[in-house]
């Protein structure tokens, strides 16, 4: 997709400035460009020359594992909820009282699983809190 032509002729970048850099400085600028939303190294250099703010984004790799565990617990809780809904449906369609007791006990088992998952969530949240508050 081609660039749109600017209606403001003053804002166009028309003057070319050539600069030679050593490898260390070029690598540093390249790193800034990759960590920010800058499209090119030239854009990074323009922002530096104009004293504009360059926002860099970093990902905390140490939080990958707790995040995966949180997603796993969320999926397990969702599955337990589906099971409870199905058991409740069977409970309401059951004609024999002993069947209703059986389904009520099954729901109780599922709620015990929910308690376990909530404990897992609490543990994960405490880990994350300790990590974030330590920084």
The stretch 49-72 carries a mean pLDDT of: 83
Alpha-carbon gap, residue 20 to 26, rounded angstroms: 9
Q: Is the pLDDT of residue 115 over 80?
A: yes
Average confidence (pLDDT) over 42-67: 84
Confidence of residue 50 (pLDDT cuts 50, 70, 90): confident
Reply yes or no on whether the pLDDT at 7 is more than 90.
Answer: no
The pLDDT score that the predictor gives to residue 4 is 67
pTM of the full predicted structure?
0.55
Task: Report the percentage of the chain scoring pLDDT > 70.
Answer: 91
Q: What is the C-alpha to C-alpha distance for residues 70 and 120, in angstroms, rounded to an integer? A: 9
């Amino acid at each position: 997709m081609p660039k749109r032509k600017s209606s403001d002729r003053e804002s166009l970048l028309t003057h070319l400035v050539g600069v030679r850099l050593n490898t260390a400085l070029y690598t540093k600028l390249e790193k800034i460009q990759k960590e920010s939303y800058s499209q090119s190294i030239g854009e990074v250099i323009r922002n530096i020359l104009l004293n504009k703010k360059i926002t860099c984004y970093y990902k905390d790799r140490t939080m990958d594992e707790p995040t995966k565990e949180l997603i796993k617990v969320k999926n397990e809780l969702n599955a337990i909820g589906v099971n409870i809904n199905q058991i409740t449906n069977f409970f309401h369609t059951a004609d024999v009282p002993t069947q209703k007791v059986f389904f009520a006990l099954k729901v109780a088992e599922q709620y015990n699983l929910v308690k376990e998952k909530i404990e897992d969530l609490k543990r994960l949240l405490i880990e994350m809190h300790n990590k974030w508050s330590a920084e």
